Amino acid sequence: MPKESAGCSAPYPEAESVADFVRHLDEVRACIAAAAERVGRTGAEVRLLPVSKTVPEERIRLAVAAGCRTLGENKVQEAKREWRNLSELPLTWSVIGHLQTNKARDVAAFAGEFQALDSLRAAEALDRRLQAAGRGLDVYVQVNTSAEDSKYGLPPDELIGFLKKLPQYGALRVQGLMTLAVFTSDTERVRSCFRMLRGLRDQGRELGLVGPGGLSMGMSGDYGTAVEEGATVVRVGQALFGARSLPDRHFWPGVTTGERSAP
């Protein structure tokens, strides 16, 4: 398989101005386009979702000034706080992390998209709140493609059965599947997680269970590989905003192998 181009991985300098953001967005889009072209796709097929978790509001404002209109947050509480505090900005929020059912009301109230659906309890809770609010919500079903590294996401062998039950929750509009790859700098192991998600999507598509069949996969350390394997959405934080000081295991309980970005 083709190698990652230079300049498309760590280090991740902090974006401190609108100009920095514009440059980082351009760089990441160029890397997406290069990865897409390596496999006969185009960059236009891939949506870049900037992830602003842990980023202070004044820097989120810079990202918006640079043109970002949807931001990803993995915690419902943080997303809700920013949605409130930045309500004057032209922004929608994508919740990309695990949902506790007691937060379903919040997600139904403010989220523009939910990418981490992984249980019928969450589906039920969300659907009920959404029906009450008279709205629908785009969702991605999260699959645990790296068994040992994350406790969130459906086991692959439970996915099809789960998808078959989703149509009863009429407010949820299934857009595709989402995953986090194994945390390692071994690109081939990362790639096999993305391939697994694509294979599951293909199976789901034959049965008409995954809507348009989107694939939300790839983060700062591995989005090039994800695009090569068919990603339609990449969720990128550090490569746009700058390196986070907190280790990845702070965000994904069960992650033990430390930072995944290759040096």
Ligand X SMILES: *Cc1c(COP(=O)(O)O)cnc(C)c1O
Residues lying near ligand X in the complex (CB under 6 A) are found at: 51, 53, 74, 96-97, 180, 219-220, 235-239, 251
Residue number, 10 or 128, with CB nearest to ligand X: 10
Residue number, 16 or 165, with CB nearest to ligand X: 16
Residue number, 118 or 127, with CB nearest to ligand X: 118
Residue number, 110 or 251, with CB nearest to ligand X: 251
Residue number, 53 or 129, with CB nearest to ligand X: 53
Q: How far is the CB of 119 from ligand X (least distance, A)?
A: 16
Q: How far is the CB of 219 from ligand X (least distance, A)?
A: 4
Residue pair 18/62 in contact by the 8 Å Cβ criterion: yes
CA atoms of 115 and 94, how far apart (whole Å):
7
Question: Strands across the sheet with 137-142, in order?
Answer: 47-50, 233-236, 214-216, 172-178, 137-142, 113-117, 92-95, 70-73
Q: How far is the CB of 13 from ligand X (least distance, A)?
A: 14
Please report the sign of the dihedral spanned by the C-alpha atoms of residue 241, residue 245, residue 249, residue 251.
negative
Query: Token digits for 78?
Result: 């943080």
CA atoms of 70 and 67, how far apart (whole Å):
9
Q: How far is the CB of 158 from ligand X (least distance, A)?
A: 20
Q: Is 206 exposed, middle or buried (0-12, 13-18, 19+ CB in 10 A)?
A: exposed
Residue nearest to ligand X (CB): 237
Q: How far is the CB of 55 from ligand X (least distance, A)?
A: 10
